[in-house]
């Protein structure tokens, strides 16, 4: 198959992939290797959350781990080697026009014979007082971006999963001390937890289990000065110069509000066993998909699966939409 031109002013592509994270780039590697013209739209970072992760230790093939930025760059290079094109821009809506899907984008309308939604997820906010007021001025969601502003300063990290522990370990290279506030118990992998314990023993990190984060306090002159929480029903305070939040993920599906594609109650996209959404010819893979495991290796696997299902779809081996 090759890039087609329809009798219309709207540019047409075989496949448009929305996103350029591991699922999207893996799908593009598969489609472009089969000469299926593929364009990817990325509004933020090529590589997605993987690119803003300091080190990835559980992606197969890298016995010593791999820097998130390096993995993202290599995935991009591999996809581009086979002809994938990455556009800097945003898809605003998808319209079903039968054999073609029309995508409203920041670069104008585009037609595609098939679409893959692989927009991934982003870090959730806690939703407490002070969080929005000090956004990027003491409250942060990207340690690899903003950690360097906290050399020899005290930090609070909120969260207890893999991301929170991984980024706490990363931030120890800058901060003088980190209070890790964990609502219940740590749910990170054993390897990460063991690594964290090294810093706990050094006195660089203090873990506060069963501690909620209730308020981020500061002022315009000094920025963030403390975090107020609750442990065992008692109010607790942590002096700090900044807060990093890693409390789970939310789907990047806001752009689907104008599109009749079914999502679950949180906003993750529902698919059938062929990874097709409720709109014929539109597929979803990776973190954005309802039921996804939020792992880079899984996202890559789903990207490959989606590409093969898209190929079947384009060849006319239809997958009936299951509503």
Work out how close the CB of 140 gets to other proteins at its nearest, in angstroms, rounded to a whole number: 7
CA dist., res. 120 & res. 190, Å (int): 25
268 Cα distance to chain centroid: 12
Residue (93 or 142) nearer to other proteins, CB = 142
Work out how close the CB of 252 gets to other proteins at its nearest, in angstroms, rounded to a whole number: 15
Residue (136 or 209) nearer to other proteins, CB = 136
Work out how close the CB of 142 gets to other proteins at its nearest, in angstroms, rounded to a whole number: 7
Work out how close the CB of 141 gets to other proteins at its nearest, in angstroms, rounded to a whole number: 10
Residue (53 or 290) nearer to other proteins, CB = 53
77: how many CB neighbours lie within 10 A of its CB?
A: 10
Q: Which residues make up the interface to other proteins (CB under 8 A)?
A: 43-47, 51-52, 54, 67-69, 72-73, 88-90, 106, 136-138, 140, 142, 144-151, 223, 242
Residues 50, 26 contacting (CB under 8 angstroms)? no
Residue (73 or 321) nearer to other proteins, CB = 73
Work out how close the CB of 34 gets to other proteins at its nearest, in angstroms, rounded to a whole number: 26
DSSP state of 148: G
Structure tokens at 35: 């000469």
Residue (38 or 211) nearer to other proteins, CB = 38
CA dist., res. 109 & res. 15, Å (int): 14
Work out how close the CB of 312 gets to other proteins at its nearest, in angstroms, rounded to a whole number: 33
Burial of 258 (0-12, 13-18, 19+ CB in 10 A): exposed
Work out how close the CB of 14 gets to other proteins at its nearest, in angstroms, rounded to a whole number: 23
Q: Where are the strands (E) in the chain, listed by range? A: 12-18, 38-42, 55-56, 66-67, 85-88, 91-97, 100-105, 108-117, 121-123, 139-140, 154-158, 177-181, 205-208, 211-219, 223-231, 234-239, 242-245, 249-251, 282-284
Residue (104 or 146) nearer to other proteins, CB = 146
Residues 25, 41 contacting (CB under 8 angstroms)? no
What is the residue-wise DSSP string for 117-172? E---EEEPP---BTTTTTBTTTEES-HHHHGGGGTT-EEEEE--SHHHHHHHHHHT
Residue (81 or 187) nearer to other proteins, CB = 81
Residues 139, 127 contacting (CB under 8 angstroms)? no
Work out how close the CB of 144 gets to other proteins at its nearest, in angstroms, rounded to a whole number: 4
Residue (159 or 242) nearer to other proteins, CB = 242
């Amino acid at each position: 198959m090759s890039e087609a031109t329809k009798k219309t002013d709207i540019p047409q592509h075989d496949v448009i992939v929305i996103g350029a994270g591991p699922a999207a780039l893996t799908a593009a590697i598969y489609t472009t290797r089969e000469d299926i013209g593929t364009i990817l739209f990325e509004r933020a970072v090529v590589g997605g959350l993987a690119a803003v992760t300091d080190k990835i230790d559980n992606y197969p093939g890298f016995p010593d781990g791999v820097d998130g930025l390096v993995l993202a760059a290599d995935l991009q290079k591999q996809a581009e080697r086979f002809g994938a094109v990455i556009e800097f821009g945003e898809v605003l809506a998808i319209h079903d026009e039968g054999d073609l899907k029309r995508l409203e984008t920041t670069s104008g309308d585009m037609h595609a014979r098939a679409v893959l939604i692989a927009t991934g997820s982003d870090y959730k906010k806690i939703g407490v007082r002070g969080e929005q007021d000090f956004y990027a001025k003491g409250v942060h969601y990207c340690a690899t971006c903003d950690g360097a502003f906290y050399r020899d300063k005290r930090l609070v990290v909120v969260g207890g999963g893999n991301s929170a522990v991984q980024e706490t370990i990363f931030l120890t290279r800058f901060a003088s001390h980190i209070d890790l506030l964990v609502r219940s118990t740590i749910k990170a992998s054993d390897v990460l937890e063991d690594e964290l314990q090294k810093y706990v023993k050094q006195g660089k990190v203090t873990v506060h289990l069963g501690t909620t984060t209730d308020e981020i306090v500061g002022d315009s002159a000094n920025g963030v000065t403390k975090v107020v929480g609750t442990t065992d029903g008692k109010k607790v305070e942590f002096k700090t110069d900044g807060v990093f939040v890693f409390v789970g993920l939310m789907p990047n599906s806001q752009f689907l509000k104008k599109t009749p594609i079914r999502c679950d109650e949180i906003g993750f996209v529902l698919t059938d066993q062929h990874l097709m959404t409720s709109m014929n010819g539109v597929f979803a893979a990776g973190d954005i998909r309802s039921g996804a495991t939020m792992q880079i290796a899984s996202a890559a696997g789903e990207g490959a699966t989606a590409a093969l299902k898209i190929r079947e779809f384009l060849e006319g081996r239809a997958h009936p939409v299951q509503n």
